[in-house]
Amino acid sequence: MKPFAYVNAANEKEAIAALGPERGKFLPVAGGMDLLALMKDYIAQPDRLVNVKNLDKAIAKTADGGLRIGAAVTVADLAAHADVARMYPALAQAAAEVGTPQIRNAGTVGGNINQRPRCWYFRNEEFDCLKKGGSRCFAVDGENQYHAIFGDGPCHIVHPSSLAVPAVALGAKFRVAGPAGEREVPAGEYFLMPDRNLFGETVLQPNELMTHMILPAPGGAKSATYEVRYKQSHDWPLATATVALDMSGTTIRGARVVMGAVAPIPWRASGAERALAGKAITEQLAMEAADAAVQGAKAMTLNAYKIQIARTTVKRAIMLAAGLKGNWA
Amino acid sequence: MPRRKDEPGFSRRSFLKTVGAGGVAAGVLAKAPAVDAQGVNVLGPGPVPVTLNVNGQVHRLEIEPRVTLLDALRTRFNPPMTGVKRVCDRGACGACTMIVDGKTIYACSTLAIEAQGKKIRTVESFTQGTVLHPVQQAFCEKDGLMCGFCTPGFVTATVALLEKTPNPTAEQAKRALDGNICRCGTYVRVLEAALNSGVKRG
Amino acid sequence: MAKQQQPPAPPPAGGGQPQQQVQQPPAGPPRSWPPVADRVLLGKSIKRLDGPDKAAGRAKYSYDIIRPGMLYGEILGSPHPRARVKAIDLAAAKAVPGVKAAIVIKDPADPAKATINYQGEEVAAVAAITEEAARDAMRLIKVEYEVLQPLATVEQAMSPNAPQAFSSGNVSKVNTSAEGDVEAALKTAAHIVEGVYATQVQTHTSLETHGGIAEWEGDKLTMYVSTQGVNASRDGIADALGIPKPNARVITEYMGGGFGSKLGADVQLVIAAKLAKAAGAPVKIMLDRKHEHLITGNRPSAFAKVKAGVDAQGKFLAWDSETWGTGGAGQGAGFTVPYNVYVFPARRQSHRDVYTNAGPQRAFRAPGHPQACFITETVIDELADRLRMDPLELRMRNVQPEAPNYQWKKYFPIGAEKIGWNRRHPTGDATAGPIKRGLGCAANRWAGGGNRSTRAMCEIQPDGSVTTKISTQDIGTGTRTVIAMIAAETMGLPLNAVTAAIGDTNYPFAPGSGGSITVGSVSPTVRVSAENALKELFTRVAPQLGVTADALEAKGGRIQVKGTPAKGMAWKDACKLLGTTPIQANGEWTQGLSSVGTSGVQFADVEVDIETGVTRVKKIVSVQDCGMIVDKLTAESQMYGGIIMGLGFALFENRILDRNTAKMVNPNMEWYLVPGISDIPVIDITLVDQPDRGVIGLGEPPVISTAAAIANAVSNATGVRIRKLPVTPDTVLAALQQERAGGTL
């Protein structure tokens, strides 16, 4: 780790004042689960860290019946929160599967949403990859078994956040605060593909902070997250999916289907959503929607298997959200 | 055990030795926080005062902000506190597990400067004199340890589990211990120890 | 490298440690263990003596020791797997405050010594007063490299267009052997299986990384080393430094795992000693996790092209194989197929080591065996499929005839009963739904044995305390406890009355802890030294009791006359007779107390989700012998540990090199996947005690057959053959895909 200065910001205002406009120079630190590893590997070499753990760490009901979740809420507290579990089971399920107990105890919602990719070329300083300002993506003709099956590059990372997937599926907004004031960004617009932001993964400017995740009232929506990992203990998902269904009896009025670990951003499966809309839920329909979800997936040299796994996560998340009994457990 | 500054017999010299270990690398003496153009109080990057409450004792160090909680205990305390191990140094193995404000954390991925004002507990705190904690006792009786390098982390994670959930199911225990890696393969007996520590009886 | 003749000699354990010792005629009078009925400690479940120190965090490993004035060393490893060092500039590193020494390791002036053959190979090193300063300085060392095209894979190395990266060529000479007429035998075969099989590179991933502390006092060097062999470490480091061996001392009170990777003299200590000399202060070097993965050894990959034939009755006829594998930038990728548990009357084998630009292999828990076992046991299941025969039945028809160390015929039915083999369905679970269940099995063998050069000294103090000194080390296997148990048993004392002093080259010689020979080396020697010490004590006591020394026995904390227990004295009173002079009795390794050869079988019960390719192991059954069990508790732990490491090899672990740069992309514990507690199935172990065979090591056998049993179970579940490890979702889904496209089953 390079030496750095430290600012213990007492609140949002102080934190923003302590950040700067230059990318990578002054970085916010919350749980540090991602950032410290990046710094130890010299991928991040900030001159200053700004503690943002004193930002809002409350989970509060909003006036319209949703929840407003402070970025400093830990993943463990999110997973254990009764309202979250009741209103947004897909979010609680995703939170419970993040990392390990120690990571969930220290890691925050803001940190999880804004963590950097786990791509092993990006995280190794010996590979001067596109994302680090280099000239090529080493995954293209290299070891891409965990890389993207959607998005078509030029950088082939998969987005690492498990919470980002339900955030998009549940129609969350992120409150962003900066020197120029605050704004709310729909989760579906918060994450940017590499062609729009190669050196980051979101709309966040270096002197801005994501301070809250704001979830709309769930209404009658039923949601579920299904994740496939290689190891059952600590591991990253090979693919994950969150499905939110607006049901009327057994009929799906509308659906949001989002896949994770398959693209540089949480990947909205509009084809699957169309396949589900207006239909009565059956296992066959879930399968058809899952097929539609992976339409357009494009395997790299070593990751074709991820298409099948992504398909399965969608199918099972649909069935779980709809309350259909699965035959896989 | 490190002693508090106000304790009788405290040696000024040993205190300075602790200071020196962290301070000389950056070649500067500890400074009061600087204030930048935006009026922000900036600490470091050179050594700064850091006060840690570890196992009920206060330790005052002068260290750079980049020193992790794990390294502070292992290399800056006097005497060093080395029960907690450094294995992956990236928050992936659990050998550095400590309990901070009642929750397990990876000390390799926590800055010492950020652990100030918190109640930090390490494996060293569980033994009362020479009497092992029931969890430690159970690890010995069930042979839930082999080379022993992961053991302090597993013991700490198990203590934290049982303080919150005195009668865990096997599934609960596995989930609580999923952040720790053992290479010798003690898991079967670690689980037996976690489920039979005697904590629930006592 | 493994020899390719039959019967196969298991490959050497590496690190200069012979894997098995030919047991020579006894050095002294015949020795024996007490009759089973009289054993107080031996064979019982005894808690390990260092458990409390480990569980309390009090145990000081080399990583934990801080010596007065100690500096921290950092080694700069080459980022390039194949290169030549053209220039090194240490000036900027030396200018970092707190840096006390900086040295060049790859001397650009000497082209022969400036070559880099693998990523992480040592280039230069620094020592400073903090780790942070040392790391800062290490990163400021300026090195100019001539970067050369590396060989990342065996395919690249074997390609006719490959650059010649190694002076001896990229591929070793072919090592061939043959027995019988393979061609003729295959012509008569009712069924022939042909396939290509592959296993991955596995790294040891010891939790305590390699390294230690070097501290000079004049021309004497004391080192605290994380090693499996204090003597080999001392000798090798002294040689590398050009100092007399007696001037060097290695201390290893505790060490955090080695699994074969810590048997030799480690370069980290040689460098630490040089830095310590230059700085005039002790220097500690412990590798970081990345370099631990890169340079401290691995289990080589294995590839086999096999053709095997069986007759219509299920008798194996012939085995024909071409094998290769890479142990990186060095030899040692040999393994012996067919695995010598089964009889193939006609055999023809050829093997080549392939050299690549990756860290050299080292002995890894049963070198060569898990690979050979996986390949052979998979071929056998394929033959069974062709015969439409129960694969267990096929094994029973072809397994080696019974012998004390060849017990498979007895163990297979025991394991089958425990796993519920009778509910096994033919290959391919026909039940509906994506979750498929399957069973598989495999066998293992290992030699073990003891090193006849082993020596020990037993001291009895006038205050009654007993210490056994021996320069073995406890690598987590429980050796310290075994030594104390044997000394206590021999002297009729409680366990807490004796001390095992180990892990120091100042004590009498013991071999490195590799090849499962530790317990077979140490146990007889400790027994003999304790008996010799006791005999001396008897000579002091005998006149007091008016008997001859040979009429005495030590039992229950007393020295007493055999057959007349009332006539005797308490141990402490007996020892008072020593006055001020303790007894110091030497002991040599002696025949009759240990043996060679273990056998075992394992069964796996798995669930495979064919919609995700994810395998979950539900249960492993293991039936295993290890001669006379010394400590049942720690022996069982060896079983669990070996099986769990085998499970990691089966499903998860894989050192992945970028195919274009030969750099490892997963040198961490995030993407190098080691099993966690939720990945552990029910493990049902049966440890077969053979009290009349003497002591035999158990460290290696249990790791051998787990992967083979799991892979066969996955094939049984899915109906598609798994021919490579690890059994990843990718591998399973690809195999299923191939099957749909018209596979081979």
Question: Which residue of A2, A45, A120, A229 is the best one to mutate when testing the C interface, meaning the one whose CB has the most C CBs within 10 A?
Answer: A120
Closest among C680, A99, A122 to B106, alpha carbons compared: A99
Residue that is last in its domain, among B124, B146, B173: B124
Alpha-carbon span A51 to A36, nearest angstrom: 13
C137: nearest CA partner in chain B: B25
- A-chain residues within 8 Å CB-CB of B120? none
Packing angle of the helix pair C479-491, C518-545 (nearest 10 deg): 20
Packing angle of the helix pair C391-398, C408-419 (nearest 10 deg): 170
Is C440 in contact with C711 (CB distance < 8 Å)?
yes
Q: Are strands A173-178 and A209-215 parallel, antiparallel or unpaired?
A: antiparallel
By Cβ distance, the residue of A230, A315, A329 closest to C729 is A230
For residues B182 and B137, state if they share a domain. yes
The CATH number for B67's domain is 3.10.20.30
Write the DSSP symbol of residue C265: -
For residues B137 and B172, state if they share a domain. yes
B26: nearest CA partner in chain A: A3
Question: Which residue of B143, B161, B169, B174 is the best one to mutate when testing the C interface, meaning the one whose CB has the most C CBs within 10 A?
Answer: B143
- C-chain residues within 8 Å CB-CB of A233? 675-679
Q: First CA to last CA across chain C, in angstroms?
A: 34
For residues B158 and B109, state if they share a domain. no
Residue C227, pLDDT score: 98
Q: Please give the structure tokens belonging to residue B144.
A: 């839930």
Tell whether B144 is covered by a domain.
yes
Low-confidence ranges of chain B (pLDDT < 70): 1-33, 199-202
Chains that touch B (3 or more CB pairs under 8 A): A, C
State the burial class of residue C50 (Cβ atoms within 10 Å of its Cβ: 0-12, 13-18, 19+): buried
Write the DSSP symbol of residue B74: I
Q: Please give the structure tokens belonging to residue C79.
A: 């980022």
Alpha-carbon span C229 to C356, nearest angstrom: 28
For residues B113 and B52, state if they share a domain. yes
Alpha-carbon span B30 to B50, nearest angstrom: 11
* In chain B, residues 90-119 whose CB comes closer than 8 Å to chain C: 90, 92-93, 95
By Cβ distance, the residue of C97, C637, C668 closest to B186 is C637
ipTM tops 0.95: yes
For residues B162 and B181, state if they share a domain. yes
- Read off the amino acid at residue C116: I
By Cβ distance, the residue of A120, A138, A232 closest to C666 is A120
Is B22 in contact with B15 (CB distance < 8 Å)?
no
Alpha-carbon span B44 to B59, nearest angstrom: 19
Whether the CB of C68 is below 8 Å from some CB of chain B: the reply is: no
Tell whether B105 is covered by a domain.
yes
Whether the CB of C136 is below 8 Å from some CB of chain B: the reply is: yes
For residues B118 and B160, state if they share a domain. no
Tell whether B18 is covered by a domain.
no
The number of C-alpha atoms within 13 Å of C712 and in the hemisphere containing its C-beta is 33
Q: Are strands A48-51 and A59-61 parallel, antiparallel or unpaired?
A: unpaired
For residues B111 and B52, state if they share a domain. yes
Q: What is the DSSP string of B85-148?
A: --SSSSSSS-TTEEEETTEEEEGGGSBGGGGTTSEEE-GGGT-BTTBPPHHHHHHHHHT--SS-
For residues B73 and B141, state if they share a domain. no
CA distance, residue C64 to nearest chain B CA (Å): 6
Residue B36, pLDDT score: 82
Domain, as residue range, for B137: 127-195
Determine, for residues C729 and A238 on separate chains, whether the beta-carbon distance falls below 8 Å: yes
For residues B73 and B107, state if they share a domain. yes
Alpha-carbon span B50 to B44, nearest angstrom: 11
**Model confidence pLDDT, tens digit, residues A236-245:** 999 999 999 9
State the burial class of residue C116 (Cβ atoms within 10 Å of its Cβ: 0-12, 13-18, 19+): buried
Peptide bond into C7 cis (omega under 30): yes
Distances from the Cα of A76 to the Cα of A135, B69, C620, angstroms = 39, 21, 33
Tell whether B43 is covered by a domain.
no
Instruction: Provide the strand spans (E) within C412-570.
Output: 435-446, 455-460, 466-469, 498-501, 552-555, 558-561, 564-570
For residues B52 and B120, state if they share a domain. yes
Determine, for residues A17 and B44 on separate chains, whether the beta-carbon distance falls below 8 Å: no
| Chain position carrying tokens 């979702």 | C729
B161: nearest CA partner in chain A: A101
What Rg, from alpha-carbon coordinates, does chain B have?
19
For residues B120 and B87, state if they share a domain. yes
Helix (H) / strand (E) containing B175: helix B170-176
Whether the CB of A26 is below 8 Å from some CB of chain C: the reply is: no
Q: What is the pTM of this model?
A: 0.95
A104: nearest CA partner in chain B: B105
Q: What is the DSSP string of C711-729?
A: HHHHHHHHSS---BSS--H
Determine, for residues B178 and A5 on separate chains, whether the beta-carbon distance falls below 8 Å: no
Question: Which residue of A34, A122, A305, A311 is the best one to mutate when testing the C interface, meaning the one whose CB has the most C CBs within 10 A?
Answer: A305
Closest among A273, A283, A276, A274 to A319, alpha carbons compared: A283
Alpha-carbon span C632 to A238, nearest angstrom: 41
By Cβ distance, the residue of C131, C209, C669 closest to B71 is C131
Packing angle of the helix pair A283-293, A305-322 (nearest 10 deg): 140
Q: Please give the structure tokens belonging to residue C510.
A: 């013991």
Q: Is C253 left (phi over 0), alpha (psi -120 to 50) or beta?
A: alpha
Determine, for residues A234 and B178 on separate chains, whether the beta-carbon distance falls below 8 Å: yes
With H, G, I as helix, E, B as strand and everything else as coil, classify residue C4.
Answer: coil
| Chain position carrying tokens 């019946």 | A65
Alpha-carbon span C285 to C62, nearest angstrom: 10
Tell whether B107 is covered by a domain.
yes
Residue B38, pLDDT score: 77
Alpha-carbon span C134 to C139, nearest angstrom: 9
Residue length of chain A: 329
Determine, for residues B132 and C55 on separate chains, whether the beta-carbon distance falls below 8 Å: yes
Interfacial residues of A (vs B; Cβ cutoff 8 Å): 1-9, 14, 17-18, 29, 32-33, 36-37, 39-41, 47-49, 51, 53, 76, 99-103, 105-106, 233-234
In the sheet that C122-128 helps form, which strands lie side by side, from edge to edge?
C99-104, C122-128, C71-77, C283-286, C211-217, C220-225, C248-251
* In chain C, residues 91-120 whose CB comes closer than 8 Å to chain B: 96-98
The angle at the Cα of C156, spanning C154 to C159, to the nearest 5 degrees, equals 105
The CATH number for B167's domain is 1.10.150.120
Low-confidence ranges of chain C (pLDDT < 70): 1-29, 741-745
Q: Please give the structure tokens belonging to residue A187.
A: 């989760």
Tell whether B93 is covered by a domain.
yes
Chains that touch A (3 or more CB pairs under 8 A): B, C
Tell whether B33 is covered by a domain.
no
**Model confidence pLDDT, tens digit, residues A12-54:** 999 999 999 999 999 999 999 999 999 999 999 999 999 999 9
The angle at the Cα of B184, spanning C207 to C618, to the nearest 5 degrees, equals 125
pLDDT in tens, chain A (329 residues): 999 999 999 999 999 999 999 999 999 999 999 999 999 999 999 999 999 999 999 999 999 999 999 999 999 999 999 999 999 999 999 999 999 999 999 999 999 999 999 999 999 999 999 999 999 999 999 999 999 999 999 999 999 999 999 999 999 999 999 999 999 999 999 999 999 999 999 999 999 999 999 999 999 899 999 999 999 999 999 999 999 999 999 999 999 999 999 999 999 999 999 999 999 999 999 999 999 999 999 999 999 999 999 999 999 999 999 999 999 98
Q: Please give the structure tokens belonging to residue C101.
A: 């020494």
Whether the CB of C673 is below 8 Å from some CB of chain A: the reply is: yes
| Chain position carrying tokens 């740069």 | C661
Alpha-carbon span A6 to B113, nearest angstrom: 9
Determine, for residues B185 and C643 on separate chains, whether the beta-carbon distance falls below 8 Å: yes
Determine, for residues A102 and B48 on separate chains, whether the beta-carbon distance falls below 8 Å: no
By Cβ distance, the residue of A124, A232, A302 closest to C679 is A232
- How many independent structural domains does chain B possess? 2
Is A103 in contact with A171 (CB distance < 8 Å)?
no
A53: nearest CA partner in chain B: B114
Tell whether B21 is covered by a domain.
no
For residues B99 and B161, state if they share a domain. no
**Model confidence pLDDT, tens digit, residues A104-137:** 999 999 999 999 999 999 999 999 999 999 999 9
CA distance, residue C669 to nearest chain A CA (Å): 10
| Chain position carrying tokens 């501290």 | C215
Distances from the Cα of C21 to the Cα of A281, C581, C596, angstroms = 69, 37, 9
Mean residue pLDDT of chain A comes to 97
* In chain A, residues 225-264 whose CB comes closer than 8 Å to chain C: 228-236, 238
Whether the CB of C370 is below 8 Å from some CB of chain B: the reply is: no
φ/ψ of C112, rounded to 5, equals -65, -25
Q: Are strands C122-128 and A67-70 parallel, antiparallel or unpaired?
A: unpaired
Q: Please give the structure tokens belonging to residue C22.
A: 């030919």
